Structure 1
Amino acid sequence: MIRTATPADVPVIHALVRELADYEKLLHEARATEEQLREALFGERPAVHAHIAVDDTTGEPVGFALWFLTFSTWRGVHGIYLEDLYVRPTARGAGHGKALLAELAAICVERGYQRLEWAVLNWNAPTIAFYDSLGARPQDEWTTYRLTDQPLTDLGRTTRKPRPE
């Protein structure tokens, strides 16, 4: 079963984010707090959305998808960028990941969005095989770039002119 996340789900989303970061060997980079997630998902101006995969027999959350809207200037419509998709190892193979992606695809179809996009680590062969089995194809002619931490701060400080006080 897939359902839209509620504020009561923030602790489990936070735990799942940390589990995903650990799986990706990047737990040291997972700095988001429950309060930050609560504000992003349910604050005054939510910019992020989440769905929860629930085990049909136990009712326990076993996975999540966290996403936000994008916009294609070429197509002239929104799309969805899937920031995180994670299913606990004990629940894998039961269709939760596919159900989460199917839910996002249904939202795209219902709302006229024309893209559902995400990134996957190159070493994550099981996940890549799963995405391939759904008909997803890598965009290998594009390379993702990212600025964070000090390089982001340095660039932000050099490109803006001081504002008059």
Structure 2
Amino acid sequence: MDNYVVRKAGQQDIHPLSLLMQAYIVDFYKCPRPAEESLFGLIQMLYREEEGIQFVAEQNGELVGFATLYFTYSTIKAHKIAIMNDLYVVEGKRGEGVGAGLFQACNSYRMSHDYASMVWDTASSNKRAQAFYKKMGGMPEDWITYSLEDE
């Protein structure tokens, strides 16, 4: 892919990033649309790098992907870790290196900020993502993810 740049999300990205995140949430994962103020609040929090960070991929002035890292700790590692909660590239740009650029930005951030590891989940049905993560050097873990959610 030519002419794209991966960078930390900035204030100028709030509106276009919120649209990209809505496409990821609603169109890709078929989840309910979050309240606009909640989404903007999340983006603002990530911009401040308090509990996480977002990277965006931009081509010709348009955002074509994003990745989100959240910061937490691992008792097992007795160290801080980064959780890559999201990596999304718009349909027409997949397979062109954008995802790899976003992944590498997350991993570089993790290494340069002394996080012991970067972990992530993907849907068991998302075979394309699983192949991508294996290509990036990721290895499936022996853990099973559970959740409790409000209805």
CA contact (8 A) 2:17 2:63 kept: no
| Helix, strand or coil at the partner of 1:79 | strand
Structure 1: which amino acid aligns with 2:82?
A: I
Residues 69-103 of structure 1: CA distance to partner in whole angstroms, max 9, x if unpaired?
12122222211101111000111122111111111
What residue ranges of structure 2 are gaps of 5+ in the alignment?
none
Aligned partners of 2:35 and 2:69: how far apart in 1? 15
Return the TM-score normalized by structure 1.
0.78
CA contact (8 A) 2:67 2:85 kept: yes
Return the TM-score normalized by structure 2.
0.85
The one of 20, 23, 29 aligned to 1:24: 29
Aligned partners of 1:41 and 1:103: how far apart in 2? 15
Aligned partners of 2:53 and 2:47: how far apart in 1? 9
| Helix, strand or coil at the partner of 1:37 | helix
| Helix, strand or coil at the partner of 1:149 | coil
Paired position in structure 1 for 2:9: 5
Q: Percent identity?
A: 28
CA contact (8 A) 1:77 1:112 kept: no
Residues 118-165 of structure 1: CA distance to partner in whole angstroms, max 9, x if unpaired?
1101111111111111121111x3121222215xxxxxxxxxxxxxxx
Paired position in structure 2 for 1:155: none
Distance 1:79 1:10, change over 3 A: same
CA root-mean-square deviation: 1.8
Structure 2: which amino acid aligns with 1:109?
A: M
Aligned partners of 2:42 and 2:12: how far apart in 1? 12
Structure 1 residue runs of 4 or more that deviate by more than 3 Å after TM superposition: none
Which of the pair has the greater relative contact order for Cα pairs under 8 Å at 6+ separation? 2
Structure 2: which amino acid aligns with 1:79?
A: I
Distance 1:52 1:31, change over 3 A: same
Aligned partners of 1:100 and 1:38: how far apart in 2? 17
What residue ranges of structure 1 are gaps of 5+ in the alignment?
151-165
Deviation at 1:36, TM superposition (A): 2.2
* Greater strand content: 2
CA contact (8 A) 2:67 2:84 kept: yes
Q: How many residues align?
A: 144
Would you say 1:148 and 2:143 are equivalent positions?
A: no
Structure 1: which amino acid aligns with 2:105?
A: E
CA contact (8 A) 2:82 2:119 kept: yes
